[in-house]
Structure formats: structure tokens, C-alpha cells
Amino acid sequence: MKKLLLFISTLLIAGYALADTSLSAYGTYWDAETEGTGAGLRLKKTFLGFGAIEGRGGYVRFDDIKTDMIPLDISLNVRLPFMISPYAGVGAGYYFLDAEAGNLDDSSGLFAQVGIEATLVWFGALAEVRYYDLEENYFDGASYNIGLMLKW
């Protein structure tokens, strides 16, 4: 009986740890001093219904300055927990830059975001706007993201 209770408790704890987690794939348009397009992945964990922490990784290509960026960032959001859920948050990241010309160095920075998610049980969509303030001023500005989400 003790083993059964321990097993059930372990399953409940593991289920809670994984509950309300989502993985999203999104496309992005970066409208800064220079324009770029790309894609990314977002892993989000919601806690207490109103908060969420998310980590992202992606790839953005800036054709006019021939630069590739790999953004890695983390953010903390507050949200309204409805089927259509608006959210806002702040975060920080590190941005790996590979420039064919010029001397652009890897950069760190901060951002603020607002967005909306619409979910139906385990599937959904997202749209958001982020404003970046990076050490490299070429990339300061807004990015517009739209994507699809799987939720468990």
C-alpha cells in the first residue's frame, strides 16, 4: 500500500510539474534600424494561473547588413488565464551575431513584450510585439511574432 501511495504521489507531482506547459514555433519580423526575418521556438511554463516564465531560441537573418543572429532569451510574463489570454512581460537575452562585413560583436539586451494567445485544449496560436534595447544599436526596435502552440 505504501508503494502504491508513493507511486501515485510521484505521478501527481510529475503531472503538476508538467501541467500547463507549452511549446510554440513562430515566425518573426524584426523592424529595427535594419530589418530581419526568421523563426524560433518558445518553451513556456505557466504558474499560479497568472504568471509564466519562458525561454526562447531562434534564428534571424538581416539581409541588408548581411548578419545572422541567434537570439537566446528568457522572460517573465503576467497573463489573464482565459481561452483568449492577453499577456505582458519583460526579459533579457544574449544575441550571437555572425556578420559578413563590419565588426558587430555578440550582444546582450533587454526587452518588453505584449501579446495574446488563443488556445483550444492542447492547440493554440500566438501573436506578440516585442521591443528590444540591445548593446548593438542596429537591432534596437520592435519585432513582430506569430506562431502555433502545443500545450500540455
> What is the per-residue pLDDT for 11?
57
Q: Residue 39 is inside which H or E element, if any?
A: strand 35-47
Contacts of 54 (CB under 8 A, 6+ apart): 42, 43, 44, 45, 74, 75, 77, 91
Q: Is the pLDDT of residue 12 over 60?
A: no
pLDDT tens digits, residue range 18-60? Answer: 568 999 999 999 998 889 999 999 999 998 889 999 999 999 9
Angle among Cα 113, 91, 78 to the nearest 5 degrees reads 60
Domains and CATH numbers, the chain: 20-151 (2.40.160.20)
Q: pTM of this prediction?
A: 0.85
One-letter amino acid of 104:
L
The secondary structure of 79-109 as a DSSP string is E--SSEEEEEEEEEEEEEEEESSS-PPPEEE
Decide which of 100 and 123 is more confident.
123
